[in-house]
Amino acid sequence: MKKSAKPVVVILVVIAVLAAAFLLVWQFDVFGLFKDYKTVPEITLKGKTDIVLEGGTPFEEPGYTAKIGDLDATDKVEVDYKTVDTTKVGTYELNYTLSNLKGRHTVTQTRTIKVVDTTAPVITLKGDATVKIQIGSEYKDAGATAADKVDGDLTKTIKVDNRVNVNEKGKYTVTYTVKDAAGNEAKVTRNVIVSKQTAGSVVYLTFDDGPSFNTIKILDLLKKYDCHATFFIVGQNIPGNEDILKRMVKEGHTLAVHTYTHDYAAIYTSPEAFWADNKKTRDLIKKVTGVEAKCMRFPGGASNTISANYCSGIMSTLTSQCKDHGYEYYDWNISSGDANADGLPAAQLYDNIMAGIHENYESPIVLMHDTGAKGTTVTAVAKVLQVGLSEGYSFEAIDETVDPIHHAVNN
Ligand code: ZN
């Protein structure tokens, strides 16, 4: 027994030594033999691991790096981008997975992507944003379409608030609202102007610089022919002529603001000076008649260059400020010529006006003056009304339903 036991012991010892050696080599991998088995991969995510993403915008990978031991293994990382659907609100987990070379260790890093919807849908009007129709005619709304980055086509859920009264002259608003699933609301409006105007058939006579005794004569003519006009008032002419203003309102004419002093050197020194002068007239008209003027005309027109003597660029500023002051400003496209001199022959003024009217502007706006020195203007107006009516024109007062004429600004 003792003799035969010896080789067995030797074998056992050898096995034990080999096992110990193997374990030692395995444990410390002194020769690097098991590197591929033993090295745990490392993934490093760049950027945030919690990402909030607006729905409908593509996910952009902030980047990552990976190593297995000293080896760069970035290109071996598997990322399943299909798990993230940025067109749907929700929270998604994006996994970055990497196994070492022999598949013994697999590591996963996770980014959380929260897709939210804070963007309102977009409403697109079909047809024009401003529609003009004639009184009494039918209004057919052209509708709108709506699209949301997350919810897609929302056209069918648009709510339309249509307040258009085709039987009453005015400026109406059609409002389109739509909400997406996340509750974001979009709103778009369309202006619908119901007017008496048909292209070229309505003439807008306008009188600047009054009132004066000639204004009364013009009002008499307008009354005689049942016509209406617009008066751009000079405020300093109001005291003593209050009854003329009241009559204008009573007889359906439009009172509009021209200026208080008409002194270019004073009003065009600064926007502040201009609006202070303008307000003085507007306030006085309101005080006398109770009417707040919504239309105005710049002394010299918006195209005047005289203002450049006092303030460079002031007309650009003033024209852009009108809306803020609650005004539309009206220049003209037909000039009677009565500003060129006092006492010009009425026939000449009449010819200028009728030639302009016959040019068929969409909004023929005629510039005239009703100061005391413009007696021949009154005579011309009488003939314009008489002949114009017989030719089928009508004469109306400007209001906010009338397209403005804007001259090119030169200062
Ligand atoms: Zn003037």
pLDDT tier at 36 (50, 70, 90 boundaries)?
Answer: low
pLDDT tier at 93 (50, 70, 90 boundaries)?
Answer: very high
Distance 186 CA to ligand 1 centre (A): 44
pLDDT in tens, 121-178: 999 999 999 888 888 889 999 999 999 988 999 999 999 999 999 998 888 999 999 9
Q: Answer whether residue 110 shows pLDDT above 70.
A: yes
pLDDT at 70: 85
Mean pLDDT, all residues of the chain: 92
CA distance 328 to 345: 33
Q: Answer whether residue 187 shows pLDDT above 60.
A: yes
Q: Answer whether residue 35 shows pLDDT above 80.
A: no
pLDDT at 310: 97
pLDDT at 4: 60
Position with higher pLDDT, 380 vs 29: 380
pLDDT in tens, 361-382: 778 999 999 999 999 999 999 9
Q: Answer whether residue 410 shows pLDDT above 60.
A: yes
- Name every residue whose Cβ is closer than 8 Å to that of residue 226 and which is 6 or more positions away in sequence: none
Q: In the Cβ-directed half-sphere of 341, how many Cα atoms lie within 13 Å?
A: 5
Distance 326 CA to ligand 1 centre (A): 21
Q: Which of 33-42, 60-69, 129-138, 207-216 has the highest mean pLDDT?
A: 207-216
Rounded to an integer, the average pLDDT of 300-327 is 97
Position with higher pLDDT, 8 vs 205: 205
Distance 257 CA to ligand 1 centre (A): 10
pLDDT tier at 107 (50, 70, 90 boundaries)?
Answer: very high
- Give the distance from CA 77 to its chain's centroid: 48
Q: Which one, of 184, 56, 55, lies nearest residue 114 by Cα?
A: 55
Distance 202 CA to ligand 1 centre (A): 23
What's the token pair of residue 207? 């009188």
pLDDT tier at 318 (50, 70, 90 boundaries)?
Answer: very high
Distance 75 CA to ligand 1 centre (A): 78
pLDDT at 306: 97
Distance 345 CA to ligand 1 centre (A): 20
Q: Answer whether residue 409 shows pLDDT above 90.
A: yes
Distances in whole angstroms, Cα of residue 131 to Cα of each of 199, 237, 344, 407 = 14, 38, 41, 23
pLDDT tier at 227 (50, 70, 90 boundaries)?
Answer: very high
Distance 209 CA to ligand 1 centre (A): 5
pLDDT at 312: 97
pLDDT tier at 199 (50, 70, 90 boundaries)?
Answer: low
pLDDT at 5: 67
Distance 285 CA to ligand 1 centre (A): 17
Distance 394 CA to ligand 1 centre (A): 25
pLDDT at 3: 55
Q: Answer whether residue 100 shows pLDDT above 90.
A: no
Torsion-angle region of residue 218: left (phi > 0), alpha (psi -120 to 50) or beta?
A: alpha
Distance 261 CA to ligand 1 centre (A): 10
Distance 272 CA to ligand 1 centre (A): 19
pLDDT at 43: 95
Q: Answer whether residue 331 shows pLDDT above 60.
A: yes
Could you give the strand order of the β-sheet that contains 64-68, starting from the edge strand earlier in sequence? 42-45, 64-68, 71-72
pTM comes to 0.61
